[in-house]
């Protein structure tokens, strides 16, 4: 049954990928930026967002993972966006396999079946597999990091080779970071999962190994930016995204626009980002209450079952969010209760959703990144439904928590 669900989920994603037009696949603003950088890579210009009406060319505006995929499809496929969508349909199917394996190992085969169903037929998961944004590949990479981390936690006390799973989890997290920079920040709260386990030394050692692998994998991009920009940054969008969430910017005040223009004049790419950071800090300090209110609204939008995009951006019925997010979230809450005694496992599973919530509270994003963190919620949901029905096949894997 799990294999059948994975196959149906793949066919649904593949059908959308082959039916959707090229204009629809690149309808989001971020899609055009990824395509522009990907075309630059395909033509030998490197990871550069060419100069456009909105400003000068930029060297680290986006992480290089997704533009590299775009460049590969530009070179290999007759219809590049169709090739990209087919790859994302495969990524979605691989995510289903990982989710099913993780949930089955945690709470039994029926939990794996439920977890796969929660992701396989989520309308937004299916639809975004056909769009030129890195949500689906990021979800696959984070799901792999989740499963490898669970494998490490279960073998930390009994196997001398457990550190290999930790290293693999760090590599998977690096793959996610090359697609979306906020994924790299998971290295900090993941130390919490290591700390709450009783075997502090083993779990902290595994966390250190995973962190080292993550940094080693990100080193080429950081060195490249240090050489080209003078600073080893991941991206140069943080300042603007933070400033876009301030009260002055959201109100559309002319003074805010003029202030940013004056501060950005004559600055390089990193200098502009730092200028936005300073302006954002000043705006937040001037009206902290209003900023917190806007942050709460952004979090509400992130986790709202209502449509994540405007009607002209996503032709999905308004009820789609309720059929996808609502059951997964409700069952995940039950799963949190069911795994309350397994602290390390529980913390590890909720890390990505909690971290994304904090990031989205501060930084403005036009793409619903919550789809990338639905796999761990689905795993929790599978365990939750089994606990609710009293049909858990075996106790959760013991990891010393």
Instruction: Give the SS3 label for residue 170.
Output: helix
Which pLDDT does position 400 carry in this prediction? 42
Report yes or no: 316 and 124 within 8 Å, Cβ to Cβ. yes
**Residue 21 φ then ψ, to 5°:** -80, 165
Q: Would residue 396 count as lying in a domain?
A: no
Q: Would residue 76 count as lying in a domain?
A: yes
Q: Would residue 286 count as lying in a domain?
A: yes
Q: Would residue 253 count as lying in a domain?
A: yes
Q: Would residue 401 count as lying in a domain?
A: no
Helices 200-229 and 162-179, interaxial angle, to 10°? Answer: 30
Which pLDDT does position 211 carry in this prediction? 93
Could you tell me which residues come within 8 angstroms of residue 132 by beta carbon, excluding any fewer than 6 positions away?
25, 26, 28, 31, 34, 35, 70, 81, 84, 85
Answer positive or negative: Cα dihedral of 10, 13, 17, 19. positive
Which pLDDT does position 254 carry in this prediction? 42
Which pLDDT does position 365 carry in this prediction? 80
**Residue 49 φ then ψ, to 5°:** -85, 110
Q: Would residue 9 count as lying in a domain?
A: yes
For residue 347, give its domain range. 2-389
Q: Would residue 368 count as lying in a domain?
A: yes
| Number of folded domains that form the chain | 1
**Residue 260 φ then ψ, to 5°:** -65, -40
Q: What is the largest CA-CA distance in the chain?
A: 65
Which pLDDT does position 309 carry in this prediction? 62
Which pLDDT does position 202 carry in this prediction? 79
Q: What is the DSSP string of 56-104?
A: S-BSSSS-SHHHHHHHHHHHH-SSHHHHHHHHHHHHHHHHHHHHHHHHH
Q: Would residue 399 count as lying in a domain?
A: no
**For the chain (length 401 residues), average pLDDT per consecutive 10?**
90 86 75 89 89 76 92 79 88 94 89 92 88 92 94 79 90 96 90 69 85 95 93 90 84 54 69 89 89 90 73 63 85 89 86 92 83 93 82 48 40
Which pLDDT does position 141 carry in this prediction? 96
Which pLDDT does position 189 carry in this prediction? 84
Which pLDDT does position 264 carry in this prediction? 61
Report yes or no: 155 and 144 within 8 Å, Cβ to Cβ. no
Which pLDDT does position 80 carry in this prediction? 72
Instruction: Report which of 178, 182, 188, 180 is spatially closest to residue 224, judged by C-alpha positions.
Output: 178
Phi-psi region of 108 (alpha: psi -120 to 50; beta: other; left: phi over 0): left
């Amino acid at each position: 049954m799990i294999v059948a669900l994975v196959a149906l989920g793949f066919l649904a994603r593949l059908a959308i990928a082959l039916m959707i037009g090229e204009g629809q696949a690149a309808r989001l603003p971020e899609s055009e930026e990824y395509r522009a950088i990907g075309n630059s890579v395909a033509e030998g210009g490197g990871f550069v967002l060419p100069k456009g009406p909105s400003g000068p060319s930029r060297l680290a505006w986006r992480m290089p993972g997704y533009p590299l995929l775009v460049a590969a499809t530009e070179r290999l496929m007759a219809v590049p966006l169709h090739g990209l969508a087919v790859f994302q349909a495969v990524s979605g199917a691989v995510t289903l396999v990982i989710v099913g394996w993780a949930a089955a190992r945690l709470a039994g085969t029926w939990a794996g079946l439920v977890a796969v169903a929660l992701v396989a037929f989520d309308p937004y998961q299916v639809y975004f597999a056909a769009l030129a944004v890195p949500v689906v590949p990021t979800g696959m990479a984070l799901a792999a990091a989740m499963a490898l981390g669970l494998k490490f936690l279960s073998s930390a006390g009994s196997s001398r080779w457990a550190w290999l799973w930790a290293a693999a989890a760090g590599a998977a997290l690096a793959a996610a970071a090359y697609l979306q920079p906020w994924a790299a920040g998971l290295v900090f709260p993941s130390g919490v999962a290591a700390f709450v386990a009783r075997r502090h030394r083993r779990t902290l050692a595994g966390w250190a190994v995973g962190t080292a692998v993550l940094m080693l994998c990100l080193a080429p991009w950081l060195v490249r930016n240090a050489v080209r920009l003078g600073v080893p940054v991941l991206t140069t969008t943080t300042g603007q995204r933070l400033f876009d969430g301030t009260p002055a910017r959201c109100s559309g005040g002319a003074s805010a626009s003029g202030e940013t223009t004056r501060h950005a004049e004559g600055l390089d790419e990193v200098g502009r980002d730092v200028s936005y950071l300073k302006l954002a800090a000043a705006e937040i300090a001037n009206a902290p209450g209003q900023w917190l209110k806007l942050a709460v609204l952004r979090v509400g939008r992130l986790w709202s079952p209502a449509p994540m995009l405007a009607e002209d951006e996503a032709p999905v019925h308004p009820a789609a969010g309720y059929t996808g997010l609502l059951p997964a979230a409700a069952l995940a809450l039950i799963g949190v209760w069911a795994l309350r005694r397994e602290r390390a496992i529980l913390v590890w599973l909720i890390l990505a959703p909690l971290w994304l919530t904090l990031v989205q509270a501060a930084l403005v994003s036009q793409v619903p990144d919550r789809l990338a963190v639905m796999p761990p919620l689905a795993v929790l949901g599978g365990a939750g439904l089994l606990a609710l029905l009293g049909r858990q096949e075996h106790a959760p894997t013991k990891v010393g928590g």
